Amino acid sequence: MKKFYVLVVDDDKEICEMALNMSNDREDVVVFTATTNEQALSLIKNNFFHVACIDLLSTDGDFKMIFKVLNERRPSCKCYLITGKAGDKPINLLLELLIPSCPRIEGAIDKCDINYTNVILDMADTYFKNAKVINSVDILYEEIKKKKTRYLNGHVAITSEEVEYLLSYIFGQRMNFTNKNSYNDIEQIITGAQLVLLSGGRSKSIVALAKAKTKEVSIEDFYTVIKISPIDDIKEEINRYKSYVKFMVGLSSRVELLDYVLGDTLGAVCYSFAGKPSNNIKNISDVFREKQDQAKIYLKKLFDVNTKEWMADSNIKQEKDILKYFKNKYKFNHDDFKKNIKTTIELCGSKNEKLHNILENVSKKVGVLLAGGKIRETYNSCIVHGDMNSNNVIIDENIDPKVILIDYSDTGRGPIAIDFAALECSLRLDVDTGDLSGDEYDFYLCQYGYEKECTELFHRAGDDLPYWTKISKLLFKLYCNNFKFATKEEYLITNVLWGARVCNVKSVRHSERLRILLWIASLLDQLII
């Protein structure tokens, strides 16, 4: 059952009791009350609210402080003053004075009116009228809880109610639409959605396929992709989508950011396929894991069609110091990378002499590379996605497959090889990582051997080489085809830095870090440092 959450702050206990009676009369309305600011702040920290009603003449301090805290920590909550003189002209004048300093105030409620709670119930009824039935909210919330330490801002707790609010809002009145081209002038009124979790990888985001349900007049269901992320990430993505994608990039003809909503700690964005997709939608990470040959088709389509305009010669510029770019853009820390190499050596190098020697060489060569002048020479830049890992490439596997990108929070100008590097790294993590135990060290050494065999990236991989080597060669070929300025050295350096950046991600397992370091080792073997 959907519920409507209300906070009432008033030092008059009778007013609080009247508010609590709403919960007794309506199971779908949940009321929390506080008679002091301290109680109110505790409730705000730990609970999600649709509406907050604050006493104008609280004896416990400045009521504006409560509004300020709500504005900072629960920005999705609608705020009202409770006063005994809501209809008086002086109160209306006071509201006009207060609103500039407390912009969250929606209006005033007269608590002297014996039916004042009906105003709140009317708000609840309006909410329920527009609210949609969202299945699988609990599944998404459980995934979010697994990444909870990345979401908490230290002030408020994440709740399942907030997640439901985001999804209900996305599929509520903001997405009641008429799509004349696809639906033959039949008005599509969305009544709810069924969510299917897509693999979200190691990022902060939760990604799901959403099958929107419509009224019986609908001839088809409507599919979208939903992403839930920390609120600041969503704000950044919206800004970058508008700046770099919507009006500048050919991708906008293939993917559209339909809508977004901001909650208290989280935000959600909704992406659409062009036209109606099939129900066989996945990200390319799943394609890699299943070692499907169709990956070649999807990647060719991605780089030969969707990103062509990004990579146009007119967008190419020369920049200096690619290391500085990684430090500024991704907060890359060289010292952290060296510590991670050392930790990996301590974990497995002592048990395998060959691995120990390879990792020691990585540490030395990386130190020379990052300290030398080569990495600070000019490099070519263009508009890039900025985080094209395999979880952000969504596939619709119909007869004419569609490929879309999601998550534009890092989109902007960057090294021309960076999107290829993100996929190269994902490819190795998706296909070739396991647990570090027993003979696993020999397995990783074998992968390093294949990396060595695959070092001449211009040559075609033999049929006896692993799946990922063939995809890796294709990525390099697509890189060369897209840029007349493409160089092998720039590709290798970008891949090294991307791999080093991923090694610094705290959620990366030791086995995954080892696999990346062996990839970096093969890249460094090809560089003349």
Structure tokens at 490: 């720039």
DSSP assignment of 126-151 equals HHHHH--EEETHHHHHHHHHHTHHHH
Distance of alpha carbon 100 from the chain centroid:
33
Q: How far apart are the C-alpha atoms of 515 and 529, rounded to whole Å?
A: 22
Counting Cβ atoms within 10 Å, is residue 31 exposed (0-12), middle (13-18) or buried (19+)? buried
Residue 189 has what pLDDT?
Answer: 54
Q: Which candidate, 261, 204, 220, places its Cα nearest to that of 410?
A: 204
Whole-number Å distance between alpha carbons of 30 and 48: 11
Q: What is the pLDDT along the chain (529 residues), one digit of tens a residue?
A: 788 999 999 888 888 888 898 888 888 899 999 988 889 989 998 899 999 988 876 655 567 788 888 888 888 888 888 876 545 555 555 555 555 555 567 777 777 776 778 888 988 888 887 766 677 777 788 888 777 644 445 556 788 888 888 887 777 644 443 333 333 333 345 566 777 887 656 677 888 887 766 665 443 556 778 889 888 889 999 988 888 877 665 544 445 677 788 888 899 988 876 545 556 778 898 889 888 888 998 998 888 755 556 666 677 888 888 999 999 999 999 899 999 999 888 887 667 788 888 899 999 999 888 887 778 788 999 888 899 999 888 887 765 777 888 888 898 899 999 999 999 999 988 886 555 455 667 777 777 777 776 655 444 445 567 888 889 989 999 998 888 788 999 999 999 999 999 999 888 888 889 889 999 999 998 887 6
- pTM to 2 decimals? 0.80
Q: Does domain 4-130 have CATH number 1.10.10.10?
A: no
Q: Which CATH class is domain 282-526?
A: alpha beta
Rounded CA separation 384/376 (Å): 20
C-alpha span between 348 and 507 (Å, rounded): 19
Domain ranges of the chain: 4-130, 133-276, 282-526
